[in-house]
Structure formats: structure tokens, C-alpha cells
Amino acid sequence: MKQGWRWYGDRDAISLKEIHQAGVTDVVAALYERKPGEVWPVAEIKARQKKVREAGMTWSVVESVPVHEDIKKRTGDYKKYIANYRKTLENLAKCGIRTVCYNFMPILDWTRSDLAYELPDGSTCLNYNEYEVAAFDLFALRRPNAEKDYDAKTKARAKKLWAKYTPKERKRVEKSILTGLPGTVDDLTPAQFLKELKTYAGIDDAKLRANLYAFLNEISPTLDKCDVDMCIHPDDPPHPIFGLPRVLSTAKDIRQMVKECPSKHVGLTLCTGSLGGSLENDEVAIFKEFAHRVFFCHFRNLEYAEPGVFHESQCHLVGKTNLPELMLAFLKEEKRRGEGIVVRPDHGRLMEIDKGRKCYCGYSYGGRLIGLAELRGLEIGIKAFVKGL
Ligand code: DNO
């Protein structure tokens, strides 16, 4: 397991020195200053690379090169943005960076309804409650036709919940959903969000899917020529929200993508936490089925209060995903390939050690440090007892 860590560049509260001291070898980063659709210049990539190198590590995975909304919708300037995307991939390859993570979620990247959910020990983590999301959609955003997207039980519960919530609690839900979580998007106001949603009218599941495959097949000659692995990040949560389609949520979706996009460089970021957001997904089975197409991993875990309501686990190894079993399959895949795969501990709790500094939500030092240590321990433990790994 190559030990990875997401670093947000100079604006990250956590320094490269701290990351290095955690035992990390592979930094996961991006040119965050560049907006979706822009070409990433070689000089800027090199400058970031140099910083990471000087700190004793390698920038080996990009997360993310964001996909412009025009590409997802195939409207406006999408042809130009695809050409720019190819150029960025070429520039990254020139610098020796050949693993690129991205997602194809419309408008919002990953979504949570509480960014500071308090655990009994006073540390906080991220929480998703589908009733809060429904309540926000129905009663705060008042998205046209939203009621069609929920069953009677969800609507009734959402109504009760919203009636009970104080203005502060309602604001917390709104802010959590519309804050541009670390990834690709900016903060939105409800009015802006509604406006953006309108631009997706007429883009249904089949269209969005076709647009994803078209995009991948259009960039595939570059992937093949430059030997770049594109690894799509699964939808988080892995089902449609706010009436927007989601096309990379299940094993079936991955199967279809792989079938429609023949390049061997079209693959997956195996994110256990995102896939684990559906009780129907089996993360270990998904890894095993697509192991040859997994180019990068995010490992973490979820604890469910009930179906549709979950928060991130105290321990990265315990919860919805059977991480020990997954790690075993992962180590076998590394063995088969004869090379390591980058894994980053995805998210961590915000604990006392980080209070007082501004960490990006989910991207604390202490919480991820524990996560990485647990993953490392698991790897060492498995290797000690399973022959041949
Ligand atoms: C959340 C992240 C996502 C991810 C993007 C990839 O913590 O896993 O923001 O980076 O979806 O494009």
C-alpha cells in the first residue's frame, strides 16, 4: 500500500512536514487555483511538484481535474473544455503524473447534511441524513416538483423534522449542503443552486451516462498515448439527489462504463465511504470485480444509525465496509500487479489536536493520522499472517 494523503496546497492548514512525518510517501493534490475547464500549465504543475519533492514525498495522484459542467451537459463550450482537458492530461504526463481522479456528479460534488456532527467524546465528523436533505429540498429550497422525488413516508418525516428544527438547525443543514466541500465546487446560495439546477432540465440518467462515456472515449486517445489512468470517483451519496441523475453509484454503473469505454486506462477510485452510502453496495465485491481497473483508493468507514442516516466511523476499519477483507483483496491485487497502489485515509474526525486551526471539513490532521495508522497496521498484520503477499 502506497501511503497517500490529500494536500490542499499552500492554503492547507496542514503542512507538508506534518504529512511527511505521518509516514506518507505519496501526496494527492491538484492545482486548486485553476478553475474547471482551464488548462493546467506545465510550469505550475512543476512548481507544486517541486514543493512536494523538497518535503521528501512524490505528488503522484491528482485529485481532481474537475470536469466542466458544459462537458457533463454537452452544451456550450464543451468541445473547447474537452480539448483543454486533454491538454491538461498531456501536461501532467509530461511531468510524470499519471493518475487522475475526477467525478461526474452534476453541480454538487459530495454532499453531507452535517459537517460537524458531534460524537459522544466531543470530536466531530461528517453526517448524512436523507430526511434532512429531503426537508431542505422540500421546505427551504422549494425546488419545483421536488415532492415527486420522495415517497410519502420520507415526506412526512421530513415535514415533521423541519417543523421541529430551530432556525439555527435549519441553517446548519443548508450550509452543510451548499458549502463547496473540498473538491471541485464553490459555495452556493439557494437561489444560485436553483438556477444551476434549471440548466440540467432535460438531462436525464440516460443522457448524463451517454455524456460520461462520450467524454471518456474522446479523451481515451490521450490516455493511451500518455499512459494516464483516469479514475472516476463514485457518486457521494450513491443515488440521485435534488432531481439530478447519478451515473456512477453501483457495480452495474461501473460495469456499464467499462463496457462502453474500452480503454484500459478508464478506471475507478475505489472510495469505500462513497459506495458505502448505499446499503445495497458491497464494496469488497466491487473491488474484486474491478480490481484491474482500480487505480487509486480512498479508505474509510461509515456507521449507520438507520438506513439513509450515517456518519463517518470513529475507526477507519470498523463499520459498513469490511475493511480487513478489502485490504486482503487489495494486497493480492498489488501482488498480482507487482506494484503498489496509492491509498489515502479518506476523511477523519476533528479532534482536540486540530481545534484552533482551520482544517477543511473531513480533512483534519489527527483524524486522518489515526486512519492511516490503522490502515498501515492492518496491512502489516495481514502480511504477517498471509503467506505470499
Ligand atoms: C471528498 C472527496 C471528493 C472527491 C471528488 C473527486 O472528500 O472524496 O471531493 O475528491 O469527488 O472528484
pLDDT digit string, tens, across residues 316-349 = 999 999 999 999 999 999 999 999 999 999 999 9
Q: Quick one: what percent of the chain has pLDDT higher than 90?
A: 94
CB of 64 sitting under 6 A from ligand 1: yes
Residue 152 predicted with pLDDT over 90: yes
Q: Work out the average pLDDT over 358-362.
A: 91
Q: Which tens digit of pLDDT belongs to each residue from 251-295?
A: 999 999 999 999 999 999 999 999 999 999 999 999 999 999 999
Distance from the CA of 320 to the center of ligand 1, in angstroms? 19
Determine whether 85 is an active site residue: no
Buried b or exposed e, range 326-347, using 16+ CB within 10 angstroms: bbbbbbbebeeeeeebbbbbbb
Question: What's the alpha-carbon Rg for the chain, to the nearest Å?
Answer: 20
pLDDT of residue 376: 98
CB of 101 sitting under 6 A from ligand 1: yes
Q: Which atom of ligand 1 is nearest to the CA of 182?
A: 9
What is the C-alpha to C-alpha distance for residues 349 and 179, in angstroms, rounded to an integer?
18
**In which band, very low, low, confident or very high, does the pLDDT at 182 lie, cut at 50, 70 and 90?**
low
Residue 185 predicted with pLDDT over 70: no
User: Which of 6, 8, 32, 63 has most ligand 1 atoms within 8 Å of its beta carbon, as the pocket-test mutant?
Assistant: 63
Distance from the CA of 160 to the center of ligand 1, in angstroms? 32
Residue 389 predicted with pLDDT over 90: yes
List the one residue out of 102, 70, 76 whose CA is nearest residue 88: 102
Determine whether 347 is an active site residue: yes
Distance from the CA of 373 to the center of ligand 1, in angstroms? 21
Determine whether 26 is an active site residue: no
Mean pLDDT of the chain: 96
pLDDT of residue 183: 53
pLDDT of residue 214: 98
Distant-in-sequence, close-in-space partners of 291: CB < 8 Å, separation ≥ 6 = 329, 333, 336
Helix 251-260 and helix 205-226: axis angle, to 10°? Answer: 60
pLDDT of residue 179: 81
Q: Work out the average pLDDT over 19-36.
A: 96
**In which band, very low, low, confident or very high, does the pLDDT at 184 lie, cut at 50, 70 and 90?**
low
Q: Which atom of ligand 1 is nearest to the CA of 103?
A: 12
Q: Work out the average pLDDT over 34-61.
A: 97
Residue 103 predicted with pLDDT over 70: yes
Distances, alpha carbon 186 to alpha carbons 109, 182, 209, 365, in Å: 10, 9, 24, 23
Angle at 66 between CA 181 and CA 239, to 5 degrees: 60
Tell me which residue has cell 420520507: 154
Determine whether 346 is an active site residue: yes
**In which band, very low, low, confident or very high, does the pLDDT at 234 lie, cut at 50, 70 and 90?**
very high
List the one residue out of 253, 366, 272 whose CA is nearest residue 325: 272
Q: Work out the average pLDDT over 156-174.
A: 96
pLDDT of residue 310: 98
pLDDT of residue 187: 79
**In which band, very low, low, confident or very high, does the pLDDT at 387 lie, cut at 50, 70 and 90?**
very high
Distant-in-sequence, close-in-space partners of 84: CB < 8 Å, separation ≥ 6 = 37, 38, 39
pLDDT of residue 181: 62
**In which band, very low, low, confident or very high, does the pLDDT at 355 lie, cut at 50, 70 and 90?**
confident
Distance from the CA of 184 to the center of ligand 1, in angstroms? 8
Residue 313 predicted with pLDDT over 80: yes
